[in-house]
């Protein structure tokens, strides 16, 4: 799972954001889950934290929870949220609803530990990473985004950060909160005390 993860130097990289908290619904696929009441509140707090970064553009996964998170950020930062299909989460639409957090964690860990096998869902970890990386590369090479903010999902974000930073994707995933962000360029002045920013 090695390769070129980002065509830009690290100092001018994107700002990656994991969507805010969603409301699990066993009757709907995860890609259709909406933000919870607390998730909307956290998204607003996150948007305030992101404002000092002054991103040039905003991109989001087409999944509902990511779109809703991006809509809050867009309103605060006065940006248009552009959907990019490749930023969606690891494909697992046919996986039955997992009500237990421990079981879900075990399955995601297995995905990270066996990256070239379809052990959880319809994509391998490697396939999801390559798809996400291609989407992000398209944004960075498109020329329209000088400093893009990208709203995406925990698994693909962990895979990308693991490759880029030379860390274990499993380790990254275990540290992600919902929501959170990782600034691959620079952190804004005064953001060090924010609970949303993670450093690796």
Q: Is residue 36 part of a domain?
A: yes
Please state the domain count of the chain.
Answer: 1
Write down the pTM of the prediction.
0.89
Q: Is residue 98 part of a domain?
A: yes
Q: Is residue 192 part of a domain?
A: no
CATH number of the domain bearing residue 113: 3.40.50.1240
Q: Which domain holds residue 168?
A: 12-186
Q: Is residue 45 part of a domain?
A: yes
Tens of pLDDT, residue by residue over 163-199, are 999 999 999 999 999 999 999 886 444 445 566 788 7
Kindly list the distances between the CA atom of residue 148 and the CA atoms of 7, 9, 12, 79, 106, in Å, as whole numbers in the listed order: 14, 14, 10, 11, 33
Q: Is residue 196 part of a domain?
A: no
pLDDT for the residue 13: 75
pLDDT for the residue 9: 37
Q: Is residue 95 part of a domain?
A: yes
Q: Is residue 103 part of a domain?
A: yes
pLDDT for the residue 193: 54
Q: Which residues of the chain have pLDDT under 50?
A: 1-11, 187-191
Tens of pLDDT, residue by residue over 132-149, are 999 999 999 886 567 899
């Amino acid at each position: 799972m090695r390769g070129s993860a980002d065509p830009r130097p690290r100092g001018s990289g994107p700002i990656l954001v994991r969507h805010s908290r969603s409301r699990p619904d066993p009757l709907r696929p995860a890609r259709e889950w909406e933000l919870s009441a607390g998730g909307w509140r956290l998204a607003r707090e996150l948007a305030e934290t992101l404002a000092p970064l002054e991103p040039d553009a905003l991109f989001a996964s087409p999944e509902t929870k990511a779109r809703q998170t991006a809509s809050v950020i867009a309103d605060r930062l006065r940006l248009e949220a552009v959907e990019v299909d490749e930023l969606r989460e690891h494909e697992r639409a046919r996986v039955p609803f997992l009500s237990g957090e421990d079981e879900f964690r075990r399955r995601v860990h297995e995905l990270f530990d066996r990256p070239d096998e379809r052990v959880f869902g319809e994509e391998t970890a490697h396939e999801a990473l390559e798809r996400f990386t291609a989407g992000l590369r398209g944004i960075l090479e498109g020329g329209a985004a000088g400093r893009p903010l990208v709203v995406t999902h925990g698994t693909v974000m962990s895979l990308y950060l693991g490759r880029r930073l030379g860390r274990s994707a499993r380790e990254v995933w275990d540290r992600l909160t919902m929501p959170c962000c990782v600034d691959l360029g620079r952190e804004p002045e005064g953001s060090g005390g924010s609970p949303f920013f993670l450093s690796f």
